[in-house]
Structure 1
Amino acid sequence: MTGGETDEVNIEEETEITKEISEKKLKDRKVSWAKLRRVDSLNLEAGRVSMNANHHSKMGWSVTLSLAFQSIGIVYGDIGTSPLYVYASTFTDGIKSNDDILGVLSLIIYTIVLIPMLKYVFIVLWANDNGNGGAFALYSLICRYLKVSLAPNQQPEDMELSNYKLEIPSSQQKRAYKLKHKIENSHFARILLLLLAIMGTAMVIGDGILTPSISVLSAVSGISTSLGQDAVVGITVAILVGLFSMQRFGTDKVGTLFAPIILVWFTFIGGIGLYNLFKHDIGVLRAFNPKYIVDYFKRNGKEGWLSLGGVFLCITGSEAMFADLGHFSVRAIQISFSFVTFPAILTAYIGQAAYLRKFPDKVGNTFYDSIPDPLYWPTFVVAIGAAIIASQAMISGAFSIISQALSLGCFPRVRVVHTSTKHQGQVYIPEINYMFMIGCIIVCVAFKTTEKISHAYGIAVIGDMMITTTLVSLIMLVIWKKSLWMVILFFLVFGITEFLYLSSQITKFTAGGYFPIVLATVLTMVMGIWHYVHKERYMFELKNKVSTEYLKELANNTDVHRVPGIGLLYSELVQGIPPIFPHFIASVPSIHSVVVFVSIKTIPVSRVALEERFLFRQVEPREYRIFRCVVRHGYSDVLGDPLEFESQLMQNLKGFIQQENFMLEVNDGTNTNNVTTSEQLVAPTSTNESDQREDDSAKELKTRSNNSSSRIIPSLGVSRVSSDSIRSLPGSATKSSNFYAPIFQGPEEEIKFIDKAMERGVVYMIGEAEVVAHPNSSILNKIVVNYAYSFLRKNFRQAEQSIAIPHRRLLKVGMTYEL
């Protein structure tokens, strides 16, 4: 069968699925429960959840204008402080011709109009993921529509979530679905998409280090003539230390006065720009004619092309509009940029150009030299405040995007502190904060001047912009299903423009441009290695998951006892019983009277409603009282306090028991096999091999050949047992000698049994898996797994620290995985 025929078959299959869904919806009110083909045991509950309020919902103008005002202080600090250093970074060798000033001004005008205004404000902002922006938000959005996630943990139930918002497939849009299936079936394309998201994140992190350095140094440089450059660097370092020390208080508290300060800053630079325009040379308005751009390149040739690196700095911070979108709304950003930021910075550049036409020798410190004497010190003070705010915005954005990467398994475990009860996206990461501070200090001391830092700064920003252009083009083609010519026009116009700027920036590699490239490469390797091993661990557990036959053998094992209490065994596996379970039984031959396999799974959406967060299944036979629970959360969700999480889990378990008993009563006497058990729930992307293993016996786990690509090697058993846990283990006076618990007739008795088990205590169990490379694997795999991943794992947080498990009730069992 050819590729085209395969695509047609896939489209026909999706159309048939669509018809089935539509027919089921039409028959829901006509058929009985017994005749329904049940896919999700939470269908009733999911149906009760209304669409959550999101950034696409309508809001009043008063709210929109309020958000627009707030966004001025959070979003535009970086792009608003660019007038401090753009002309100095462009004319590094001085101004040779007064007409060059008109050419550069024309470039600045149309660069601002094209990239931040047209691309970001009116196109990219709409490519948000339920109101959230950034590289990983784009990747998450793509993963929701295309099956491109490398870890096969997708479940059909995920599409029932309120925030999923998938369209019903249509056979009329064949081009989009052909491309969709080609990408899904291409392993290279899936890796490339993940790599783009990781690289975009790495560029933002680099931006988070360079923005504070160049912004604060530029602001403080206003006193360089009186104190000297070394003193300026020292003052900058002191301000940076204070800035990063305040991060622990959170953006919400630190930024209380952000909007008024930036608004004052925009008033100052706009007013000074108008003053210079009318006093020195109103003729610079001719720069709105793009002919001056052509003349500029004709006059300067290669030097004009190299100067694009400095011109590009006028739009640094544009990506912050998209990265910080989660705090505001699309309309609010559009209003604040169009009516406040855009006219203010444009007037500032025009005024500086008018000043330079009269004083071309002052290009080295244009901004401060062009300020009227009475306004010098007020502007200097406001400039420092604006520079700190610009730094704060990018630091907060970097924290947010690292938090997203962490949730999607693409970053080593770090502590994420949510600093605001009003804004869920505002986070603080202590480890990253101090790394940023050290990085900023090194950059300032090493480069010393804004001109040298600008060589490195531009590459980080343009790299992130090019990745955004690529991902949004794919979204336009596959998800928005726009005209092919419209997508090509978008990609070529913005892609070529950004490539020209990148080509100019890359020539400054040896002058400092190497810094963001080296930094992005290291970060990409770190995130790539972590995600690779994370995915391989998941595939290992998927291939070695335990079948229900193992539980039947376990029930006949007289050496295994049930003890009072509830055991929560954590695992990343969402499609069966993890291989750590038989190893746990072998180490501690006891099992709690109620066992729940808990899988905390990040869904490719920003938030999951609390009513939809817990997905339960009961492992058959029911008298085992063993459950599986997938805890679904978005990358912006907060898991909360462990006691609160435990209470929510238990309440949802009781609700599931009531609903399951209702389903059994409905199906009684008709077809009890309609009830979906945990082992019938498999991901649609699972391989045939993993599906077949559902019916394998437990003996296969013990007799797996050593020639397999993955092996389990038992370790020394229990690595940590708390005093509270020991009371529930064998040797307690309350242990039961029978594997089966008493069977009750009805949900009330079952819930009472759960309550009694809770009174005896809840014990958390975690498999402490040591990951090593298989002896027969390649040298590269051994280096990645045995050394690189091992180093990251030892120097970052452990699993129980990242999900806040109470240590007094923690039981860890060691294993070794060979990948």
Structure 2
Amino acid sequence: MNATTAAPGTPSEGPDTFKRTATLALGALGIVYGDIGTSPLYALRECFSGPHSIAPTPENVMGVLSLIFWSLFVLISMKYLLFVTRADNRGEGGILALMALVLQRPKGIRAPHPARPVLVALGLFGAALLYGDGIITPAMSVLSAVEGLSVATPLFEPYLLPISLVILLGLFMLQRKGTGGIGALFGPVMTVWFVTLAVLGVKELVQNLAVLGSLSPVHGVRFFLHNGGHGFLVLGSVFLVVTGGEALYADMGHFGVKPIRTAWFALVLPSLMLNYLGQGALLLRAPEAARNPFYLLAPSWGLYPLVALAMVAAVIASQALIAGVFSLTRQAMQLGYCPRMEVVHTSAEEMGQIYLPGLNFLLLAGVVLLVLGFRSSSALAAAYGIAVAGTATITTVLAYVVARERWGWKRRVALPVVGLFLAVDVSFFCANAVKIPDGGWFPLLLAAMLFTLLTTWKRGREILAAKLREASMELKGLLDSLSGDHPPLRVPGTAVFMTGNPEGTPPALLHNLKHNKVLHEQVVLLTILSEEVPHVPPSERVEVEPLEQGFVRVIARYGFMENPSIPDILKRGREQGLQFQLMSTSFFLGRETLIPSKKPGMAMWREALFAWMSRNARSATSYFRIPPNRVVELGTQVEL
């Protein structure tokens, strides 16, 4: 999903270690920190001029700055960078990777986790919330950047929406090209952006060094004591400074933890805080600057260049979120929660750079509707935050399970640590919950819809698999029947039958015997399993087991960050003794016509939804990269 990737883990010791870490840290600046790096555009503005704003008095300014610093320190520095990033699933991170890690039982324990249904539901809902973030972030970031033009002159006011829409349209149209060509520029550009944030902040900060006193938590406590419930509402706007925290964890596998931590502590955190402190110093000097303190930090001659740089930074932040949604969807497909979709690899070198045309169009449609519906970043801020706050809370809960069961933490250690993070997460979520009538309903509604789709697909596949097993027969029984008095005619060549059950007989094989009454000399029963790990080692990828009567069982295993490939499986099978000629090999696939029924399983409307999703899923031929001229499809009707 980015131009600069590397295998996770600790770099090998040697003279190149520092250079390698610095290179990866530069890449992380462009991918990991784009979202949180554009928060200064709007975060402090929303605290003092948004829907739930508070007067920019000196006490309030110092209090809000204190809350911003401690939010960044507790949630980003402590929770994500020091705690959550320890929960890596073979080097990969993200909400689905964390969910899969939670569901993996420790060695020696085979029983499923007693709270498995609840944990799965939490993980899926957290993933669904991230889709809302993937739609809101591009709209919010680009609108905030473009609105700087209205600070320069009100003449631009009527053109802010058209300019924003043109930028967003261009951003989504470029997805098909991949980020390989321009991705290398993301890191340097974001470095310039963070340095600019720091310079702008220092320029104002040196005029009022007293604002540094806001780093004391005392000002945050006084803010709540003085403002009460209103202060709690402002907390929803303060949360905007930590949006993007999930990206740290989700992109861990692309850069490794050390480069991400290095980039944060060496540049990102200092630059962000210097800018926020500078904005605070400006508000202390000129409270009327609350309408847009970020752009008013700039000198008049530098306003247009700053707007241009902000637009580029917003596009980079949006690109990172879009790529993250693509990656999340691929994980959901591999884990069995999402129908097959077209996945285009935009780079021959980087496996993580993918493009999903159908999803890209849906994201673009959602972003355009958001921009046209909310029309300003301030209005859109009401919808922003609750999705990220919800996912952050779920991440904390799942990380607690990992700490207890996989790291062996005692409850007396885990509870205080996680309790602190959870208290902060829940506070932010509740503060954002008041935004639901003003726009916060959008990410929640979207998440509910996606959660329904994800769970319906998973449950529907389970019901379908059970129905097919009922209509099937044991493989041993079939092999015994072939050695009887009337065996079927055997024809030259190899037949590959794909089956989800490695122990049973594929329905397509039974249909072929029933209708064509022939069997190929070699029959390959191919099962592709998705493991709850990001990557499967090449040595464990393919297992070939010769059976009787010319049958061969082949089991291929893929992680949820990998794309299955029939050519790759056959190549690895040949290395283990599987003999075949592609031009004399036929691939037999089953195509089920699903009929909703009142039988136990799912509600009728969910069965109808599952049938519709199944009809519109990408064909197995293209998804598994099977040579299309070698495919035979055999259909059957199945009552759900």
TM-score category (smaller protein): over 0.9
Aligned to 2:504: 576
**Residue 600 of structure 2 is aligned to residue 781 of structure 1:** no
Aligned to 2:571: 647
User: Which shows bigger deviation, 198-207 or 109-118?
Assistant: 198-207
User: Which shows bigger deviation, 285-294 or 339-348?
Assistant: 285-294
Letter of the structure 1 residue corresponding to residue 256 of structure 2: S
Aligned with residue 560 of structure 1, among 485, 488, 497? 488
Give distance in 2, aligned partners of 1:759 and 1:796: 26
Aligned with residue 625 of structure 1, among 507, 527, 550? 550
Q: CA deviation at 1:645?
A: 4.2
Aligned with residue 772 of structure 1, among 568, 581, 595? 595
The answer (yes or no) to whether the contact 2:508–2:588 under 8 Å persists in 1 is no
Q: CA deviation at 1:442?
A: 0.6
**Residue 279 of structure 2 is aligned to residue 390 of structure 1:** no
**Residue 589 of structure 2 is aligned to residue 635 of structure 1:** no
Letter of the structure 2 residue corresponding to residue 784 of structure 1: R
Give distance in 2, aligned partners of 1:89 and 1:307: 8
User: After superposition, what is the alpha-carbon deviation per residue over 1:96-128, rounded to whole angstroms, capped at 9, x for unaligned?
Assistant: 522100000000000000001111111111111
Aligned to 1:697: none
Give distance in 1, aligned partners of 2:466 and 2:408: 33
| Secondary structure of the structure 2 residue equivalent to 1:207 | helix
| Secondary structure of the structure 1 residue equivalent to 2:55 | coil
Aligned with residue 438 of structure 1, among 360, 365, 373? 365
| Secondary structure of the structure 1 residue equivalent to 2:347 | coil
TM-score (norm 1): 0.74
Q: CA deviation at 1:436?
A: 0.7
User: After superposition, what is the alpha-carbon deviation per residue over 1:471-520, rounded to whole angstroms, capped at 9, x for unaligned?
Assistant: 11110010111121221112211111111111111111110000000000
TM-score (norm 2): 0.94
Relative distance call for 1:776 and 1:483 in structure 2 (3 A) is: closer
Letter of the structure 2 residue corresponding to residue 600 of structure 1: I
Aligned to 1:738: none
Letter of the structure 1 residue corresponding to residue 63 of structure 2: G
Give distance in 2, aligned partners of 1:601 and 1:352: 53
Give distance in 1, aligned partners of 2:275 and 2:528: 50
The answer (yes or no) to whether the contact 1:559–1:589 under 8 Å persists in 2 is no
Letter of the structure 2 residue corresponding to residue 582 of structure 1: L
**Residue 86 of structure 2 is aligned to residue 126 of structure 1:** yes
Aligned to 1:689: none
Aligned to 1:343: 270
Q: CA deviation at 1:192?
A: 1.6
Q: CA deviation at 1:798?
A: 2.2
User: After superposition, what is the alpha-carbon deviation per residue over 1:239-258, rounded to whole angstroms, capped at 9, x for unaligned?
Assistant: 00000011111133231210
Aligned to 1:98: 58
User: Which shows bigger deviation, 602-611 or 54-63?
Assistant: 54-63
**Residue 442 of structure 2 is aligned to residue 515 of structure 1:** yes
The answer (yes or no) to whether the contact 1:412–1:530 under 8 Å persists in 2 is yes
Aligned to 2:3: none
Give distance in 1, aligned partners of 2:390 and 2:47: 19
**Residue 9 of structure 2 is aligned to residue 55 of structure 1:** yes
**Residue 124 of structure 2 is aligned to residue 198 of structure 1:** yes
Give distance in 1, aligned partners of 2:476 and 2:598: 31
The answer (yes or no) to whether the contact 1:473–1:490 under 8 Å persists in 2 is no
| Secondary structure of the structure 1 residue equivalent to 2:603 | helix
Give distance in 1, aligned partners of 2:249 and 2:599: 46
Q: CA deviation at 1:760?
A: 5.9
Aligned to 2:304: 377
The answer (yes or no) to whether the contact 2:403–2:409 under 8 Å persists in 1 is yes
Give distance in 2, aligned partners of 1:209 and 1:539: 36
Q: CA deviation at 1:421?
A: 3.3
Aligned to 2:32: 75
Q: CA deviation at 1:374?
A: 3.1
Q: Which residues in structure 2 correspond to 1:658-677 (within 5 Å)?
A: none
Give distance in 2, aligned partners of 1:126 and 1:58: 19
User: After superposition, what is the alpha-carbon deviation per residue over 1:297-345, rounded to whole angstroms, capped at 9, x for unaligned?
Assistant: 1221111111111000001111111111121011111111111101000
Letter of the structure 2 residue corresponding to residue 421 of structure 1: A
Letter of the structure 1 residue corresponding to residue 21 of structure 2: T
User: After superposition, what is the alpha-carbon deviation per residue over 1:189-248, rounded to whole angstroms, capped at 9, x for unaligned?
Assistant: 222222122112111111111110000100000112433444111100000000001111
User: After superposition, what is the alpha-carbon deviation per residue over 1:577-625, rounded to whole angstroms, capped at 9, x for unaligned?
Assistant: 3344223311221111000010111112211222321112233xx3x11
**Residue 424 of structure 2 is aligned to residue 603 of structure 1:** no
Aligned to 1:109: 69
Letter of the structure 1 residue corresponding to residue 489 of structure 2: H
Q: CA deviation at 1:54?
A: 4.8
Relative distance call for 1:487 and 1:591 in structure 2 (3 A) is: same
The answer (yes or no) to whether the contact 1:765–1:813 under 8 Å persists in 2 is yes
Relative distance call for 1:775 and 1:316 in structure 2 (3 A) is: closer
Letter of the structure 1 residue corresponding to residue 162 of structure 2: G
Q: Which residues in structure 2 correspond to 1:201-600 (within 5 Å)?
A: 201-224=127-150, 225-279=153-207, 281-543=208-470, 544-556=472-484, 558=486, 560-600=488-528
- Listed as ranges, the gaps of 5+ residues in structure 1 are 1-51, 147-166, 170-176, 655-753
Letter of the structure 2 residue corresponding to residue 198 of structure 1: L
Give distance in 1, aligned partners of 2:283 and 2:485: 88
Q: CA deviation at 1:56?
A: 4.8
Letter of the structure 2 residue corresponding to residue 325 of structure 1: M
Q: Which residues in structure 2 correspond to 1:10-89 (within 5 Å)?
A: 54-56=8-10, 58=12, 60-89=17-46
Letter of the structure 2 residue corresponding to residue 634 of structure 1: G
Letter of the structure 2 residue corresponding to residue 215 of structure 1: S
User: After superposition, what is the alpha-carbon deviation per residue over 1:261-283, rounded to whole angstroms, capped at 9, x for unaligned?
Assistant: 1000111110110111112x211
Give distance in 2, aligned partners of 1:55 and 1:589: 55
| Secondary structure of the structure 2 residue equivalent to 1:122 | helix
Relative distance call for 1:604 and 1:439 in structure 2 (3 A) is: same
The answer (yes or no) to whether the contact 2:474–2:503 under 8 Å persists in 1 is no
The answer (yes or no) to whether the contact 1:327–1:423 under 8 Å persists in 2 is no
The answer (yes or no) to whether the contact 1:88–1:364 under 8 Å persists in 2 is yes
The answer (yes or no) to whether the contact 1:276–1:370 under 8 Å persists in 2 is yes
Q: CA deviation at 1:643?
A: 4.1
Aligned with residue 813 of structure 1, among 607, 615, 634? 634
The answer (yes or no) to whether the contact 2:475–2:503 under 8 Å persists in 1 is no
Relative distance call for 1:469 and 1:552 in structure 2 (3 A) is: same
Letter of the structure 1 residue corresponding to residue 140 of structure 2: I
Give distance in 1, aligned partners of 2:71 and 2:385: 14
Give distance in 2, aligned partners of 1:791 and 1:774: 14
Q: CA deviation at 1:806?
A: 1.8
| Secondary structure of the structure 1 residue equivalent to 2:341 | coil
Relative distance call for 1:481 and 1:759 in structure 2 (3 A) is: closer
User: After superposition, what is the alpha-carbon deviation per residue over 1:644-693, rounded to whole angstroms, capped at 9, x for unaligned?
Assistant: 54333333343xxxxxxxxxxxxxxxxxxxxxxxxxxxxxxxxxxxxxxx
The answer (yes or no) to whether the contact 2:8–2:253 under 8 Å persists in 1 is no
- Listed as ranges, the gaps of 5+ residues in structure 2 are 1-5
Percent identity between the two aligned chains? 31
Aligned to 2:612: 791
Indicate the structure (1 or 2) with the bigger Cα radius of gyration: 1
